[in-house]
């Protein structure tokens, strides 16, 4: 018996994934496509940069996502910090986090849930710093008991000139039934320039 090259390659690939953040725009794009995200969001995803999303942990180092990582729900308390890698300029930028799978991926009748929406992020040597309060504060994933894992998708947009005056969403607007593609189109954000996502399942029953 011998280990085939393709097995070895996929083992190395998985080891690389387990090690941390996204390192390739192409791989992120492929992971989005494999998870049906552009189709389900009705959004073109042609990233030109990498969005690093780091979740602080109760002990130890923050967890930095790579596209498609499965994260235990208890490790997602956040709030996340964001970094960008790529030639994207100084900003400002908009960051959104959405769940298209609520309450379940099979029947997402309340999707999308807006888990985070913030503008006025500026690029400080890669770190994205938010100079104004978020429109929707970060909300930890809470997939309901019995559901399959949900996709929690982070998207980075270049902020449009009119974004600061948008009236579609404020801190009192329901976070359910959000539509990121409609929102991005109405506020002239265009398509995201970067993104990543994680899978989070309900806590095991106790
Ligand atoms: C969101 O809006 C777009 C139009 O911008 C539409 O094509 C799409 O079906 C909508 N998605 C949902 C889940 O309603």
pLDDT digits (tens, 9 = 90+) for 165-184: 899 999 999 999 999 999 99
- Which protein residues are within 6 Å of ligand 1, measured from CB? 42, 179, 181-182, 185
d(CA 79, CA 77): 6
Contact partners, residue 166, CB within 8 Å, separation at least 6: 186, 187
| Closest CA relative to residue 94, chosen from 42, 51, 141 | 51
d(CA 176, CA 109): 9
User: In which band, very low, low, confident or very high, does the pLDDT at 148 lie, cut at 50, 70 and 90?
Assistant: very high
CB 18 within 8 A of CB 35: no
Q: Report the chain's mean pLDDT, rounded to a whole number.
A: 91
The alpha carbon of 39 and the centre of ligand 1 are apart by a number of angstroms equal to 10
157-172 average pLDDT score? 92
- Phi-psi category of residue 81: left, alpha or beta, with phi > 0 → left and psi -120 to 50 → alpha: beta
pLDDT digits (tens, 9 = 90+) for 44-87: 999 999 999 999 999 999 999 999 999 999 999 999 999 999 99
Domain of 156, CATH number, reads 3.90.280.10
The alpha carbon of 13 and the centre of ligand 1 are apart by a number of angstroms equal to 34
Rounded to 5°, the CA angle 12-22-36 comes to 95
So what's the pLDDT on residue 12? Answer: 46
| Closest CA relative to residue 63, chosen from 22, 125, 21, 16 | 21
The alpha carbon of 179 and the centre of ligand 1 are apart by a number of angstroms equal to 6
Q: Is residue 205 a part of any domain in this protein?
A: no
Q: Tell me: cis bond preceding 20? Omega within 30 of 0 counts.
A: no
Q: Is residue 206 a part of any domain in this protein?
A: no
State yes or no: pLDDT of 135 exceeds 90: yes
What are phi and psi for residue 136, nearest 5 degrees? -120, 115
Atom number, ligand 1, closest to the C-alpha of residue 179: 1
Range of the structural domain that residue 73 is part of: 5-200
Closest CA to ligand 1's atom 2? 182
9-37 average pLDDT score? 76
Count the domains in the chain: 1
162 burial via Cβ count (<10 Å: 0-12, 13-18, 19+): exposed
Contact partners, residue 12, CB within 8 Å, separation at least 6: none
So what's the pLDDT on residue 6? Answer: 54
Q: Is residue 70 a part of any domain in this protein?
A: yes
Atom number, ligand 1, closest to the C-alpha of residue 40: 13
- Tell me which of 168, 182, 185, 191 to substitute to probe ligand 1's pocket, judged by most ligand atoms within 8 Å of the beta carbon: 182
So what's the pLDDT on residue 204? Answer: 83
Q: Is residue 138 a part of any domain in this protein?
A: yes
Closest CA to ligand 1's atom 11? 179
State yes or no: pLDDT of 16 exceeds 80: no
**What sign for the dihedral angle of Cα 89, 47, 126, 178?**
positive
State yes or no: pLDDT of 199 exceeds 70: yes
So what's the pLDDT on residue 27? Answer: 96
pLDDT over 70 for what percent of the chain?
Answer: 90
User: In which band, very low, low, confident or very high, does the pLDDT at 18 lie, cut at 50, 70 and 90?
Assistant: very low
State yes or no: pLDDT of 19 exceeds 90: no
pLDDT digits (tens, 9 = 90+) for 84-108: 999 999 999 999 999 999 999 999 9
Contact partners, residue 38, CB within 8 Å, separation at least 6: 32, 44, 45
So what's the pLDDT on residue 180? Answer: 98
């Amino acid at each position: 018996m011998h280990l085939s090259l393709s097995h070895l390659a996929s083992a190395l690939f998985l080891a690389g994934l387990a090690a941390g953040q996204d390192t390739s725009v192409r791989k992120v794009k492929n992971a989005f496509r494999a998870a049906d995200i552009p189709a389900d969001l009705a959004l073109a995803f042609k990233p030109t940069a990498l969005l690093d999303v780091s979740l602080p942990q109760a002990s130890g180092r923050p967890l930095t996502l790579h596209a498609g990582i499965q994260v235990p729900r208890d490790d997602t308390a956040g709030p996340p910090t964001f970094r960008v890698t790529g030639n994207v300029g100084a900003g400002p930028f908009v960051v959104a986090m959405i769940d298209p799978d609520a309450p379940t991926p099979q029947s997402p009748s309340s999707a999308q849930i807006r888990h985070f929406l913030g503008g006025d992020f500026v690029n400080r040597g890669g770190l994205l710093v938010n100079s104004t309060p978020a429109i929707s504060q970060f909300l930890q994933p809470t997939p309901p008991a019995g559901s399959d894992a949900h996709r929690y998708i982070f998207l980075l947009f270049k902020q449009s000139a009119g974004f600061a005056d948008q009236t579609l969403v404020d801190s009192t607007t329901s976070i359910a039934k959000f539509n990121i593609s409609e929102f991005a189109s109405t506020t002239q954000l265009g398509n995201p320039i970067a993104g990543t996502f994680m899978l989070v399942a309900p806590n095991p029953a106790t």
